[in-house]
Amino acid sequence: MVGLLRDALLASGLPVPRIAYIGAASHDDAGFFRRLSSLLQQAGARDVVLARTCGRGANWRESTQAALAQADAIFVSGGDVEAGMRALATAGVIPSLQERFDAGVPFIGLSAGSIMLGREWIAWGDPDDDATARPFDCLGFAPLICDTHAEDDDWSELRALLALRPVGTRGYGITAPAMLRVHPDGRVEAFGGEVVCLEHLVDRVDRATFL
């Protein structure tokens, strides 16, 4: 994990960056923050500041805006994708995240955080009824669809999402040891392990050439 995070920080061109940590997908879980901030610091981060996205009190929204404004890079942690996007919207921080992205600040995602940085994801109204599956928008900073560490079930959720999108739509499955870098021009590059590319073909969703 530390090696991948170090690669991500180096790829961003920031040797000792200040990191704003977004924990929306885990309801700003304190344990997650402690563990991941320690890993980020081991990987070379100078400071890791929690940019809160939920909670009571009047001042946390101001401190979150300050953390985002001062960050050299923004880390989006894991948890539940749908809950994370809902928390970001409720907190009103998506415009600020968009401003930082437009300003060239690099974003790093882990697990659900990686999916949230992409275009969209899928949710089921009833987990036992595929007819209730629906796509929902994510941040869209990475112009693609991806899933993470779901190799054991052959990317079933990613396949379900692709089946609902137009023929020719592709999605990327980032295996547990891997990282996917998305360049400003949209080019993608894998580090550390295998990244699977799936494509919605005319009659099925199947593997496609990655690069």
Are 53 and 24 spatial neighbours (Cβ–Cβ below 8 Å)? yes
The pLDDT of residue 76:
98
- Examine the pLDDT at 26 and tell me if it is beyond 90: yes
DSSP string, 33-62: HHHHHHHHHHTT-SEEEE---S-SSSSHHH
| Average pLDDT taken over every residue of the chain | 92
Q: Which of 148, 70, 98, 99 has its CA nearest to residue 62?
A: 70
The domains located in the chain, with CATH, are 1-113 (3.40.50.880), 118-211 (no CATH)
- Examine the pLDDT at 191 and tell me if it is beyond 80: yes
- Tell me, what DSSP letter sits at residue 85? H
- Tell me, what DSSP letter sits at residue 198? E
> Which residues neighbour 54 within 8 Å (Cβ) at sequence distance 6 or greater?
24, 27, 28, 87, 90, 91
Are 19 and 70 spatial neighbours (Cβ–Cβ below 8 Å)? no
* Torsion, CA 43, CA 33, CA 194, CA 121, rounded to 10: -140
Do strands 205-207 and 195-200 pair parallel, antiparallel, or not at all (unpaired)? Answer: antiparallel
CA distance 49 to 73: 11
Residue 180 structure tokens:
């996917």
- Examine the pLDDT at 58 and tell me if it is beyond 70: no
Q: Which of 38-42, 60-64, 73-77, 142-146 has the lowest mean pLDDT?
A: 60-64
- Examine the pLDDT at 130 and tell me if it is beyond 90: no
Q: Grade residue 55 by pLDDT with cuts at 50, 70 and 90.
A: confident
- Examine the pLDDT at 209 and tell me if it is beyond 80: no
Q: Which of 10-14, 83-87, 140-144, 156-160 has the lowest mean pLDDT?
A: 10-14
Q: Grade residue 61 by pLDDT with cuts at 50, 70 and 90.
A: confident
Query: If you compute the radius of gyration of the chain from its CA atoms, what whole number of angstroms results?
Result: 17
- Examine the pLDDT at 3 and tell me if it is beyond 80: yes
- Per-residue pLDDT tens for 66-87? 999 999 999 999 999 999 999 9
